[in-house]
Amino acid sequence: MTADRSGTPVWIWIGTGCLLAVVLFVAVVGGLFYYGFRKTREFEQTMKDPVARTEQALELLGAESLPDGYHAVTAFSVPLLMETVILSDREAEIDERGDMFDEHGLIYVKSLAFGDHDRQLEDLFEGRTDDADLIRQSPIDLRQREQLDRGSFQEPDRTVRWAVYRGEVAQRSFNESGEALSSIVLIDCPDDDRRRLAIWFGPDPDPEAPANRVDLTGSVGDPEEIRSFLRHFDLCRT
């Protein structure tokens, strides 16, 4: 039987190493399971409590208060991976038809920047494409049909790029078709590898007007309104 210089058989060292590996694996899996279970319970409790929901939303948005007329529908965080906040102009709970919004809403997602998705976003905001298919992966059923405008503005602590689309939002009770404008906004923070993407939507001021003749003044597609709305949130602080 082979032994090392201490006289201990080699198979004991091998067996001990395998046992330690198994114990470590079980500990890691158990820890992840417990962490996931705890976060799930925390999320359930937060979603049932409007006050807790609002506090979580404020923390993730870096805000002192929510914009007038908006309420937190969803706010959750998966540390190091993703944060999501959904705000609605509907104060009550989701109704029996599943409507989450009346006229306005905000979806905010902060995540790691990666691969093809990141390149598609860059193409969208740099005007190399007007295809918003990647936005349809958001938590809300958004169906953008045509781009109306796009642009950017610089602020002391961030660069904001935006593109305005006409389309539908399925979970709105504003009208049967759910017609809306959606401003897709990308917030670039200095020295940061996270993607901060917001979708702010509201009524289309003139659904019958051709795309090149829509007056966006005062709507969610108005650059000044976008700038003013975003001032509620210190997104680069979070």
CATH number of the domain at 166, please.
3.40.1000
Average pLDDT value for residue range 186-206: 88
Pair (73, 146) in one structural domain: yes
pLDDT at 39: 47
pLDDT at 228: 95
Asked whether the predicted pLDDT for residue 12 surpasses 50, the reply is no
In a domain, 2, yes or no: no
Q: Read off the pLDDT band of 103 (50, 70, 90).
A: confident
Higher pLDDT, 35 or 110: 110
In a domain, 156, yes or no: yes
In a domain, 23, yes or no: yes
pLDDT at 220: 94
In a domain, 107, yes or no: yes
Which residue segment(s) compose the domain that 131 sits in? 50-237
Helix (H) or strand (E) holding 173: none
Pair (35, 69) in one structural domain: no
- Tell me which residue has tokens 């020295």: 191
Query: Which of 31-35, 63-67, 87-91 comes out lowest in average pLDDT?
Result: 31-35
Q: pTM (2 decimals)?
A: 0.74
> Length of the chain in residues, anyone?
238
Q: Read off the pLDDT band of 24 (50, 70, 90).
A: low
Pair (68, 26) in one structural domain: no
Question: What 8-state DSSP symbol labels residue 93?
Answer: P
**Percent residues over pLDDT 70 in the chain:** 62
The tokens describing 8, both together, are: 């201990």
Question: Of 34, 46, 33, nearest to 74 (Cα)?
Answer: 46
Question: What 8-state DSSP symbol labels residue 172?
Answer: B
Q: Read off the pLDDT band of 213 (50, 70, 90).
A: confident
Query: Which of 71-75, 101-105, 217-221 comes out lowest in average pLDDT?
Result: 101-105
Pair (26, 105) in one structural domain: no
Question: How far apart are the C-alpha atoms of 47 and 57, rounded to whole Å?
Answer: 11
Question: How far apart are the C-alpha atoms of 173 and 132, rounded to whole Å?
Answer: 23
Pair (30, 101) in one structural domain: no
Close Cβ partners of 3 (under 8 Å, ≥ 6 residues apart)? 9, 10
Pair (32, 78) in one structural domain: no
pLDDT at 9: 56
pLDDT at 76: 87
Average pLDDT value for residue range 15-43: 48
For 144-190, the pLDDT digits (tens) are 668 889 899 998 889 999 999 887 765 544 444 457 888 989 999 98
- Tell me which residue has tokens 């409790």: 45
Pair (17, 133) in one structural domain: no
Higher pLDDT, 80 or 50: 50
In a domain, 56, yes or no: yes
Number of domains in the chain: 2
Question: How far apart are the C-alpha atoms of 164 and 176, rounded to whole Å?
Answer: 22
In a domain, 3, yes or no: no
